[in-house]
Amino acid sequence: MTDKVITRFAPSPTGFLHIGNARTALFNWALAKSLGGEMLLRIEDTDKDRSTDEAIAAIITGMDWLGLDYAGEPIFQSKNIDRHTEIANQLLSEGKAYKCYATAEELTQMREKAKADGRPMVYDRRWRDRPESDAPANTPFVVRIKAPTSGEIVVHDKVQGDVHFKAENLDDFVILRSDGSPTYLLAVVVDDHDMGVTHILRGDDHLVNSARQITIYNALDWHIPTMAHTPLIHGPDGAKLSKRHGALGVEDYRRMGYLPETIRNYFARLGWAHGDEEIFSSEQFIEWFSYGGLNKGASRIDFAKMENVNAHYIKASEDARLFDLMVSLAEEIEDETALKGLTKHAETVREALPALKTRAKTILELNKAAEFIFAARPLAFEDKALAATQGENLDILRNVQPVLQGLNDWSHDGIDAALRAFAEQNDLKFGKVAQPIRAAVTAKNASPGCFDVLLLLGKEESLSRLSETTAV
Ligand code: GLU
């Protein structure tokens, strides 16, 4: 019988839920599900100075928003510290780890020497073989693991292939600090083992850690999980995604009006491929997921592409859901005008959604596009819309007003017939009439077409707007 597949997502709660980490979660989620297993969430909160409750909340709500479910409750690494310490002491008593009394000055010397020799700093193992009787009294010590001194450590990576590390470059690293606290390298191995993790998939910035952690697995004679490291996400300029590129946290994407299915689809595609498929559902992603599809190189985020994916999912969304998202986004970003307008004109906005959603790339754009429905008069015109209501167009608008005023049948067909007759009488192309009307009643450069907006606004509001625009 093979073990049930268990993956884990193990973020450190020191800030927002970074989009790169969210993608690691997404891959772990798909990996687990594609193999009939489950993903666990472990919050690595041992660094009490840097971990915050807000960051923990951001991780949990971010996962929830993305629809990445995990088995059971989140596991807090800080609760396992006694167990980490117990394992460190076990390694110590088995002679697989040792107390190191090297002072800060000694370590600085080692570092400077390494620098002068142009090689990475490796602790020179000066306490590895010294007898306990050499230990200075009442002096703090760290516990170091006895790492192999020669040969290689090989990480059998499912994405990169075998990655070889020379033992001489990996030194006897610390597993317990001088204050008795376990290090990250130890804590992760112990937790992964205790949680029954069978597959580790994380960013390739952890590759060297994996090599070190293999030393711990071997010392404990524990089974090494299957490992995979994915390249990081880069910004459009090819540099590692950073603050400079904006949009680092999952919540930034939500606040920009992206849908969770866009994030799942686009960010999966950014580091993984199944043929040429660009748009796929999460079910397809899970079905198609395999290590072989993961990229070996870093991927560049392309916001234009991502917007197109979002436009696709907006178009495919139910109007009722979109309306709710518009309201909750207005709430989240404290856009009082939109919030009031959407609530007051809920019915009209819902009616407008089939037309609005074909043009919007984000929920934010959808809110902007709906503004003309609840905009306060006098309307604040966008430049091109204003231009479209001036000059000869102003005459057209003035002349068409009585025609619309006298129209009793305020329906698509009624308006169509009246405007066509007007255009004909004045020897104008239909668009020459429709376009200024659309601009005059919406004040927007882009909006649904003339009929749609007149019908949505109704006769009274449309005519009030028209007369206000032409009153100048
Ligand atoms: N807590 C680590 C991080 O946020 C990840 C640990 C791991 O995946 O092993 O980078």
Residue 139: phi and psi, rounded to 5, are -120, 135
pLDDT score, position 185? 97
187 Cα–ligand 1 center, Å: 11
- Residue 81 to residue 77: CA distance in whole angstroms: 7
pLDDT of residue 114: 92
Q: Best of 199, 202, 217 to mutate for ligand 1, by most ligand atoms within 8 A of CB?
A: 202
Rounded mean pLDDT, 195-205:
97
Instruction: Return the ligand 1 atom nearest residue 11 CA.
Output: 4
Q: Separation of 11 CA from ligand 1 center, angstroms?
A: 5
pTM comes to 0.92
> 29-88, pLDDT tens digit by residue?
999 999 999 999 999 999 989 999 999 999 999 999 999 999 999 999 999 999 999 999
pLDDT tens per residue, range 110-158: 999 999 999 889 999 999 999 989 999 999 999 999 999 999 999 999 9
d(CA 289, CA 33): 9
Tell me what pLDDT residue 382 has.
96
Residue 395 has pLDDT above 70, yes or no: yes
Q: Give the per-residue pLDDT at 416.
A: 96
- DSSP letters spanning 89-151: HHHHHTTSEEEE---HHHHHHHHHHHHHTTS------TTTT--GGGSPTT---EEEE---SSS
Out of 44, 56, 205, mutate this one to test ligand 1's pocket (max ligand atoms within 8 Å of CB): namely: 44
Q: Distance from CA of residue 464 to its chain's centroid?
A: 45
Q: Identify the band that residue 472 occupies on the pLDDT scale cut at 50, 70 and 90.
A: low
Nearest CA to ligand 1 atom 7: 10
Pocket test for ligand 1, best of 8, 21, 188, 194 (most atoms within 8 A of CB): 188
Backbone phi, psi, residue 8, to 5°: -150, 150
pLDDT at 86: 98
Nearest CA to ligand 1 atom 4: 11
Residue 449 clears pLDDT 70, i.e. is over it = yes
Measure Cα distances from 456 to 24, 195, 374, 395, 459 in Å. Answer: 45, 57, 11, 24, 9
Asked if residues 151 and 167 have their Cβ atoms less than 8 Å apart, the reply is: yes
Q: What is the pLDDT of residue 244?
A: 83
For residue 329, what pLDDT is reported?
98
pLDDT tens-digit map of 413-447? 999 999 999 999 999 999 999 999 999 999 999 99
> Shortest CA distance to 34 belongs to which of 214, 304, 274, 208?
274
- What pLDDT does 120 receive? 87
Q: How far is the CA of 373 from the centre of ligand 1 (A)?
A: 47
> What is the per-residue pLDDT for 408?
95
Alpha helices in 117-272 (DSSP H): 184-194, 207-220, 250-255, 260-271
Cα 157 to Cα 151: distance, rounded to the nearest angstrom:
18
What number does the ligand 1 atom closest to the CA of 9 have?
8
Say if CB 16 and CB 173 are below 8 A apart: no
**Residue 176: in which H helix or E strand, if any?**
strand 174-176
For the stretch 314-367, pLDDT in tens is 999 999 999 999 999 999 999 999 999 999 999 999 999 999 999 999 999 999
pLDDT in tens, 210-263: 999 999 999 999 999 999 999 999 999 998 888 888 778 999 999 999 999 999
Residue 94 has pLDDT above 90, yes or no: yes
Q: List pocket residues of ligand 1, CB cut-off 6 Å.
A: 10-12, 44, 188, 202, 206
| Ligand 1 atom nearest 188 alpha carbon | 9
Please tell me the total number of residues recorded for the chain in this structure.
472
- Residue ID of nearest Cα to ligand 1 atom 3: 11
Residue ID of nearest Cα to ligand 1 atom 6: 10
CA of 144 to the centre of ligand 1 (A): 21
Long-range contacts of 77-83 (CB under 8 A, 24+ apart): 77/10, 77/42, 77/43, 77/44, 77/45, 77/46, 77/187, 77/191, 78/45, 78/46, 78/48, 78/51, 80/187, 80/190, 80/191, 80/194, 81/46, 81/181, 81/182, 81/187, 83/190, 83/194
Query: What are 220's two structure tokens?
Result: 């404990």
Output the pLDDT for position 32: 98
Domains of the chain listed by start with CATH number = 1-71+231-316 (3.40.50.620), 80-188 (3.90.800.10), 318-374 (no CATH), 383-470 (1.10.10.350)
Residue 21 Cα: closest atom of ligand 1: 4
Q: Provide the sign of the torsion angle of the four alpha carbons 294, 298, 302, 303, taken in this order.
A: positive
Query: Is residue 98 scored above 80 in pLDDT?
Result: yes
Name 182's bridge partners: 176
Give the number of other CB atoms < 10 A from CB of residue 353.
23
Q: Order of strands, edge to edge, in the sheet holding 161-166?
A: 75-76, 38-43, 6-9, 199-203, 226-230, 152-157, 161-166
Which among 79, 158, 240, 243 is annotated as catalytic?
A: 243
pLDDT given at position 266: 97
Q: Any catalytic annotation for residue 384?
A: no
Q: Does 1 have pLDDT greater than 90?
A: no
Going from the Cα of 359 to the center of ligand 1, the distance in angstroms, rounded, reads 40
CA-to-CA distance for 250 and 107, rounded, in angstroms?
A: 40
Task: Please state, in angstroms and rounded to a whole number, the distance separating the CA atoms of residues 7 and 24.
Answer: 11
Ligand 1 geometric centre to CA of 267 (Å): 19
Helices (H) and strands (E) in the chain, counts: 19, 12
